[in-house]
Amino acid sequence: MAQQSPADRFDDVPDDLLRVGAHRTTPRKGRRWIAFAWAALATGVLVAAGVIGLWLFTDSIRVALPSPDVESTAPTAEPEPTVPPPAEPEQVEPQLDPDVTITVLNATTTAGLAGGVADDLIAEGWEGVGTRANADSADLESTFVYYSDPADEAAALALVQALGVGETRLSDDYPQSAIVVVIGSDYASAE
């Protein structure tokens, strides 16, 4: 027969004490919902922080907010754009400008062609002819007159007329001179 231990203070457990066993209490109602709510709140805060971070650092998120003066949120049909008729290109009259700085480059195999063209231009009144040199390439077929400022277009057109061949091009490729004449083989054969 099992012997009973003598009664002590631990045998007297009050009825209002909810502890059982190793001091565990019965779980309260709704405790799992509270844990779920905290997890959902933490997820929402992390997602919001990520979206704000992307928006601030990469500017890749665009949020279109309706303006307060919009009366209806229903989409409206956009009017079809009207295409204006093409404008006539503005005709620029060729005009001799003796003060414009001109560089003459020879892009052919004909030796001394840049100097000869420069001398001819000076004889026709173009006083701003300066540099005369060979171009990097010696096999250009067409003659071009490059100008970097739209205000020099009339002078470039007058140079094409004076040369009798070539076409004008607006370009920033030659910043050292207002106008650059690049002589091609079409000029050499027109002589």
Digit-coded pLDDT (tens) for 64-122 = 545 555 455 555 666 665 555 554 445 666 677 777 888 998 888 888 888 898 898 88
Residue 59's pLDDT band, with cuts at 50, 70 and 90, is low
Q: Which residues contact 147 (CB under 8 A, 6 or more apart)?
A: 153, 155, 156, 168, 169, 170, 171, 178, 179, 180
Q: Rounded to an integer, what distance in angstroms lies between the CA atom of residue 22 and that of residue 34?
A: 25
Q: pTM for the whole thing?
A: 0.51
pLDDT digit string (tens) for 141-174?
889 999 988 888 888 898 888 888 989 988 888 7
Query: Is domain 102-190 in CATH 1.10.150.120, yes or no?
Result: no
